[in-house]
Amino acid sequence: MQKLCVVIALISLLGIGFTFYSHMMSDEMQLERLGYSKEVITQLRNENSEMIDKIIRDKRSSEELLDYLFVKNFNYDCYDEYVDLKEKYPELEATEVVYVASFFEHVFVPTLLQNGYDETTIDMWFQSPNFSQYIKTGDITTLNSILSFAKETGNDLYTLLEYVSYEKRYPQIGINETIVQVDEYQNTIFPALKQKGYQAEEIEVLYTSCELTDLKALIDTDLNPSQTLELMTASSFSSANFEIYDEVLNSGHSITYALQYAKYPNVKSNFYEAIVSTPNPNQLLALVNKNYQLEATYVPTDFVPLDVTLSTFALTGTNYLRRDAADATEKLFEAAKEEGIELLLRSGYISYETQKKNYEQDLYEMGMEYAEKISMRPGHSEHQLGLAIDVTSDSVNQSLSVDFAKTEEGKWVLEHAHEFGFIIRYPENREAEVGYTYQPWHLRYVGVEVASEIYENDWVLEDYILTYGLLDQ
């Protein structure tokens, strides 16, 4: 009896031990010992039960796997690849790691291999910072673009990245046109610019800033690298204007002039076709011409009467100017008189209303074609500024005639007007630039310093304004 009890006791202990061992060796217990919570274990049983044996076999801890376990398309057999990818690109989230690794394994690398790229070349790509930047950000879209260009061309990584960059700039042109244009740049434009003296880094700046058609235009200009790069620093720069910049600079003008000329094409061309309001009309150098117009209501505020000899034909009420211009006019007339030159004033300030009447009268008497060459439309006359005068002399019967230039009075004015702050506003042979035929009698007050610079350089007022960028001030 005693032996029977012992046997029974041993059997019970063995049963308990087996039960305990079975429990200890159960999947759940082993997963718990690896750090998995009951909730995670339950989720594994419901969603990916076949993975449990692999986890237990390899003793993969929760700390290792938990970030990846329930990511869509997670492949346990690729875990080591996930780890490597994460180590190289710590910026990637777990979902991105799985996605990118799957893309490279199943799409990217196999496709490249099928299209003739070898494994060594592909491995080198992954060492490239320019390529890696798209991996770091999980940018599958761009990686797919690289793959598409690779399939289409079989080119090296540098060229493929150029295709991608160009495609991002011009997404509307499509893959084939992108290839054509980038190839043209690399095979034709780049060497041509190199030949003209541009450094590789300078060409890269041009390439990323300018249209290819504009770069081809640049090649045909005389612009040198220093001129081009200086032009590009300006906020008003446009690569579409390379030919204009070239033309202006070849004429001896400054970089600023070239930029302004391109920005404001209505200053010296397209007369009466691109009319805008005169900016800052109270400024001494306010521009009034066939495209820069004064408002009908504009009237200067610092009028003073002129103490000079008036022509018999002087317009009533026009012997007024702004103070500085009036003082300069009196000095001009006095200096001329001291040298035996008798000047007469035909007009100073002319209101908008008076100019309107004068213009309509000129149209009636001379016709449109001639009137437009000699007479100003209302709002387009410098006389309204109170800074312009018309002078004459008895030697031309007090008329406003080009013959005035041949007289002693006209010659004196041409030689000395700048000394008193005046310019011949519409010089001889400059109609294409100012819009009016030669008017030796029409003087514009701009101040002695400016007038002298214009005189010495044989400029017109528009040249000075463009040279110093005054329209942007």
The set of residues, in sequence order, having a beta carbon less than 8 Å from that of 20 and lying 6+ positions away, is none
Its pTM stands at 0.79
Residue 211 near residue 189 (C-beta atoms within 8 A): no
CATH class of 276-472: alpha beta
Per-residue pLDDT in tens (0 to 9) along the chain, 473 residues? 555 555 455 545 444 444 434 433 588 888 888 898 988 888 888 888 888 889 898 998 888 888 888 888 888 888 888 888 888 888 899 989 999 988 998 899 999 999 999 999 999 999 999 999 999 888 999 999 999 999 999 999 999 999 999 999 999 999 999 999 999 999 999 999 999 999 999 999 999 999 999 999 999 999 999 999 999 999 999 999 999 999 999 999 999 999 999 999 999 999 999 999 999 999 999 999 999 999 999 999 899 999 999 999 998 888 999 999 999 999 999 999 999 999 999 999 999 999 999 889 888 888 888 788 778 899 999 999 999 999 999 999 999 999 999 999 999 999 999 999 999 999 999 999 999 999 999 999 999 999 999 999 999 999 999 999 999 98
Q: For CATH 3.30.1380.10, list the domain ranges present in the chain.
A: 276-472
Rounded to a whole number of angstroms, the distance between the first and last alpha carbons of the chain is: 120
- Buried (b) or exposed (e) across 254-276, using 16+ Cβ within 10 A? ebbbbbbbbbbebbbeebeeebe
Tell me which residue of 389, 400, 399, 404 sits closest to 443, measured CA to CA: 389
pLDDT of residue 2: 58
Q: At what angle do helices 94-103 and 140-153 cross, to 10 degrees?
A: 10
Residue 256 near residue 467 (C-beta atoms within 8 A): yes
